[in-house]
Amino acid sequence: MECIESHRLGNVCATAASDIAMSPSIPLQEMIRAIRSARTQCEERGVIQRECAAIRAQFRQTDSGARSHNLAKLLYVHMLGYPAHFGQMECVRMIASPRYSEKRVGYLGAMMLLDEKQDASLLITNSIKNDLAHSNQYVQSLALCTLACMGSAEMCRDLAPEIERLLRASNSYIKKKAALCAVHIVRKVHELGELFAPAARSLLVEKNHGVLHGAVVLITELCERNHETLERFRKIVPDLVQIMKGLVISGYSPEHDVAGISDPFLQVRILRLLRILGRNNEVASDAMNDLLAQVATNTDSTKTVGNAVLYETVLTVLDIKSECGLRVLAVNILGRFLLNNDRNIRYIAMTSLQKIVCTDHNAVQRHRGTIVDCLKDQDASVKRRALELSLALVSATNIRTMMKELLLFLSSCPPELKSHAASGIFNAAERYAPSQRWHIDTILHVLTTAGGDVRDETVPNLIQLITNTSELHCYTVHKLYRALLTDISQPSLVQVACWCIGEYGDLLMKGECQETEAVQVSEDDALDALETVLQSHMSSPATRGFALTATMKLSTRITDNVDRIRSIVSIYGSCLDVELQQRAVEYNALFKKYDHMRAAVLERMPVIEKNSLGDTNGESMGETMKEIQTATVKKAEPLLQQQPANQVCDLLDLLGGSEEPLQPSPAPGLSINTASTAGGDLLDLLGGFEPTPLAPAPTVTVYDKDGVALTLNCEKQSDSGLTVTLIASNSTDSDISAFTLQAAVPKSVQLHMKAPSGDSLPARGAAKVTQLVVLNNPNKVSLKMRIRVSYTRQGSAFQDTVQVDSFPGL
């Protein structure tokens, strides 16, 4: 065949070449040879450009014997990736030619170069229409094939009646092609489904397998598109069962046999149609029950082809309303598939089990062992399926064993699966964690093995989890510290570790911990660790931020190395990274000018409530937290509720007031504390709120502890406004310094704290501190106030909170 072809080509082209003197053109096969022998891309392009020029010239000739060969050459060039759009019109012309070889190549060209988006495609509609009625069935076939390949919706609408006619009245060869052409038409123009339904039905009585196959595919398409059609076609279930039985039971049919299975292509399509018809319908499902059982038991599963049929059978059984025994049979087949040596079979077994893991959970659980073993398979596709299925099989009873396997998998799994595995593990851990400690351990394990692949919200989620398990703070911080020493390359892990060391550094340095062996960690060790993170090139700016804040927090949790912290912080004051520089400068300021506030500002974080992440602050202080991701001090300031409307008090704002030169303060030399008043109070300070003699109002002691007492006195100034006077005194034998009061009130109440009279309380009540608080309660809500007292005595910081629920005089 081949020799004749090339010979023929040679003949034709020789004549063509002699006719057209100007452009020499070579036969197709010679051109292919020339292109293949080109040694460089450039040379190849040269050959192709020459040829394309020749082809273009040939196309312009009206009569050329070599037309089909030229187009074929162009199509070859197109397949190599070169542009060939100038051949589109030639295709149109060729299709209209009366010669079969030209039509053949023309239609091939149309399928390759024209798609429904091209305008030229419409031009062939008429040719197709004519060819559909051609006397030569092979010409009809070309038209049908092309229409099914690239027919646009418009073309389909135009030609649908022709196709319907061919479905009814033609030979088997045409009928089978018309059926698939109809499938394409229905996919393009759904409404035309109605047109083909009757013809499709009648095709089922044909004996020809090609026609039957086409009919089954067409009916499947119609039923999937339209529910009413589906209902109408349910009555063909017995017919399908009959056909199927014929295929399964009948003797050897050489024409359709594939390794002992008679026409597996048709069998699979029938099974698929049965699935659609039996879904959610008892009657139809019953009618096919026996057949499915027969196919499931009798099909030879030694070769792929048999397994293909079994696979489809199983899918059908599991999707229809099959009876219990049949379902068990199907799951057992899948179980057998799982143990098959052929990876393909294992793979599809797992995909099928995935589909039923929710509905038949227990049945799938029985195969858990095999599935988990597949996690260790070399093949990435099998691994992926096994991972999906394993995650779906995790339950409260098997969580410990499953997690061991999953963590093992995580340490050796391919990189593209790491992220999915990590989040799957987190989800499973969250749902079924048998204990808090296990949960934290698991998360830490994931962070150490796959820290780079976890999602961003892992860090705040983990931090939230840690704060919630207060009994494990000591354990957690020890573990994280050790993890940090081993490896500082995983960003999430490092961030959480820094945060914990900062928060719970005191527990770390205490040395003992009941949950894990004690390791002596000195203050220097902890600071060393944090400094390593700060200086490492592997740390991102966000990570450095964590480390810097943690270092700062340690300044209130350690006693000896505060100077070291001070120097670290001041170094970063000139850091190039703006965020770090800002933090360092603020912390520096905290050391220098606001040292008395440092303890309060850097104290332990309260428990974070999950749903409050991102909320604005609640009514009383310390209940909710905003983003803890950047655990900067300034964002941890809901405690200082100077202006309830201003939820996040920027540290700068807090201290910024001190920069203003015109801040008259009634108290001597304590311009800092004017910061606790909002800028808008400038006027009020000069207003009528000087401690002029107040009308005698009852004074009540709201706080009295460790020798520090606080009395409260309030006086109504207007309908909604009142002034509260707080007086603090110290009855102990030692002086108190850095005495500050902070107050918070319900949301709708406005609060202004005036500058206190001072911040030191000498021993034995030698002097008192007075502070005025102006309240405005326009909504007349029930007034409550929470007051935080902080001070330093004998070198240690103290803090306490008291809530005032009733105000005397109101």
Partner 1 sequence: MMHFLLLFSRQGKLRLQKWFTPLSEREKKKVIRDMVALVLARPARTCNFLQWKDLKIVYKRYASLYFSVGLDEQDNELLALEVLHRYVELLDRYFGNVCELDIIFNFEKAYFILDEFLMGGEVVETSKLAVGASIEEADTFQE
The residues pairing with 742 across neighbouring beta strands, listed in sequence order, are 788
Least distance CB 290 / partner 1 (angstroms): 22
Between 117 and 537, name the residue whose CB sits nearer to partner 1.
117
Q: Binders of partner 1 among 109-168, rule CB under 8 A?
A: 115-117, 136, 138, 141, 144-145, 148-150
Does residue 2 bind partner 1 (CB under 8 A)?
yes
Between 76 and 475, name the residue whose CB sits nearer to partner 1.
76
Q: Which of 158, 379, 623, 684 binds partner 1 (CB under 8 A)?
A: 379
Does residue 418 bind partner 1 (CB under 8 A)?
no
User: What is the number of other CB atoms lying within 10 angstroms of the CB of residue 785?
Assistant: 23
Sole window of 71-79, 191-199, 399-407, 690-698 interacting with partner 1 (rule: CB under 8 A): 71-79
Q: Quick one: the chain helix, strand, coil %, rounded to 5?
A: 60, 10, 30
Rounded distance, CA 533 to CA 511, Å? 22
Between 340 and 522, name the residue whose CB sits nearer to partner 1.
340
Rounded distance, CA 277 to CA 291, Å? 14
Q: Which of 74, 75, 270, 288 binds partner 1 (CB under 8 A)?
A: 75
Q: Which of 173, 438, 591, 798 binds partner 1 (CB under 8 A)?
A: 173
88-95 and 67-79 are packed helices; what angle lies between their axes, rounded to 10 degrees?
140
Does residue 305 bind partner 1 (CB under 8 A)?
yes
Q: Binders of partner 1 among 662-691, rule CB under 8 A?
A: none
Rounded distance, CA 160 to CA 147, Å? 10
Least distance CB 26 / partner 1 (angstroms): 14
Tokens 């197109």 correspond to: 78
Phi first, then psi: what are they for 709, rounded to 5°? -125, 145
The residues pairing with 724 across neighbouring beta strands, listed in sequence order, are 714, 773
Residue type, 516: T
Does residue 752 bind partner 1 (CB under 8 A)?
no
Residues 745, 645 contacting (CB under 8 angstroms): no
Does residue 643 bind partner 1 (CB under 8 A)?
no
Q: Which of 51, 162, 263, 653 binds partner 1 (CB under 8 A)?
A: 263
298 Cβ contact partners less than 8 Å away, ≥ 6 residues apart: 248
Q: Which of 13, 16, 67, 76 binds partner 1 (CB under 8 A)?
A: 76
Between 108 and 443, name the residue whose CB sits nearer to partner 1.
108
Between 2 and 63, name the residue whose CB sits nearer to partner 1.
2
Q: What mask of x and - would describe binding to partner 1 in positions 191 to 210, judged by CB under 8 A?
A: ------------------xx
Q: Closest by alpha carbon to 665, among 643, 684, 642? A: 684
Q: Which of 180, 203, 443, 480 binds partner 1 (CB under 8 A)?
A: 180
Q: Binders of partner 1 among 475-504, rule CB under 8 A?
A: none
643 HSE (CA, 13 A, CB side): 14
Q: What does the angle CA 173 – CA 176 – CA 178 come to, to the nearest 5 degrees?
A: 105
Between 183 and 526, name the residue whose CB sits nearer to partner 1.
183
Q: Which of 81, 668, 669, 693 binds partner 1 (CB under 8 A)?
A: 81
Sole window of 172-180, 322-330, 754-762, 772-780 interacting with partner 1 (rule: CB under 8 A): 172-180
Residues 597, 562 contacting (CB under 8 angstroms): no
Least distance CB 276 / partner 1 (angstroms): 9
Least distance CB 393 / partner 1 (angstroms): 20
Does residue 348 bind partner 1 (CB under 8 A)?
yes
Q: Binders of partner 1 among 271-290, rule CB under 8 A?
A: 272
Q: Binders of partner 1 among 615-634, rule CB under 8 A?
A: none
Least distance CB 81 / partner 1 (angstroms): 7
Least distance CB 187 / partner 1 (angstroms): 8
User: What is the number of other CB atoms lying within 10 angstroms of the CB of residue 244?
Assistant: 21
188 Cβ contact partners less than 8 Å away, ≥ 6 residues apart: 151, 152, 153, 156
351 Cβ contact partners less than 8 Å away, ≥ 6 residues apart: 385
Does residue 344 bind partner 1 (CB under 8 A)?
yes
Q: Which two tokens stand for residue 346?
A: 């294992």
DSSP 219-273: HHHHHHH-HHHHHHHGGGHHHHHHHHHHHHHS---TTTEETTEE-HHHHHHHHHH
Q: Which of 266, 480, 597, 749 binds partner 1 (CB under 8 A)?
A: 266
Does residue 104 bind partner 1 (CB under 8 A)?
yes
Least distance CB 149 / partner 1 (angstroms): 7
Q: Write the secondary structure of 122-149 as one string of H (helix), E (strand) and C (coil).
A: HHCHHHHHHHHCCCCHHHHHHHHHHHHH
Does residue 256 bind partner 1 (CB under 8 A)?
yes
256 Cβ contact partners less than 8 Å away, ≥ 6 residues apart: 209, 262, 263, 266
Does residue 100 bind partner 1 (CB under 8 A)?
yes
Residue 641 DSSP SS3: coil
Between 304 and 732, name the residue whose CB sits nearer to partner 1.
304
Residue type, 428: A
Q: Closest by alpha carbon to 331, among 347, 348, 314? A: 314
Q: Binders of partner 1 among 205-244, rule CB under 8 A?
A: 209-210, 213-214, 217
Q: Which of 196, 347, 475, 594 binds partner 1 (CB under 8 A)?
A: 347
Q: Closest by alpha carbon to 108, among 118, 127, 95? A: 95
Does residue 589 bind partner 1 (CB under 8 A)?
no
Rounded distance, CA 414 to CA 442, Å? 20
Sole window of 97-105, 430-438, 770-778, 799-807 interacting with partner 1 (rule: CB under 8 A): 97-105
Q: Which of 23, 61, 101, 436 binds partner 1 (CB under 8 A)?
A: 101
Between 308 and 568, name the residue whose CB sits nearer to partner 1.
308
Least distance CB 55 / partner 1 (angstroms): 15
Does residue 175 bind partner 1 (CB under 8 A)?
no
Beta-sheet pairing, 750-753 with 769-776? antiparallel
Buried b or exposed e, range 269-280, using 16+ CB within 10 angstroms:
bbbbbbbbbbee
Residues 136, 124 contacting (CB under 8 angstroms): no
Least distance CB 6 / partner 1 (angstroms): 8
151 Cβ contact partners less than 8 Å away, ≥ 6 residues apart: 116, 159, 181, 184, 185, 188
CA distances from 421 to 4, 97, 408 (A): 60, 60, 11
Between 79 and 694, name the residue whose CB sits nearer to partner 1.
79
Does residue 370 bind partner 1 (CB under 8 A)?
no
Binding stretches for partner 1 (CB under 8 A):
1-2, 5, 29, 32, 36, 72, 75-76, 79-81, 99-101, 104-105, 108, 115-117, 136, 138, 141, 144-145, 148-150, 173, 176-177, 180-181, 183-184, 209-210, 213-214, 217, 255-256, 258, 263-266, 268, 272, 304-305, 307-308, 311-312, 343-348, 378-382, 384
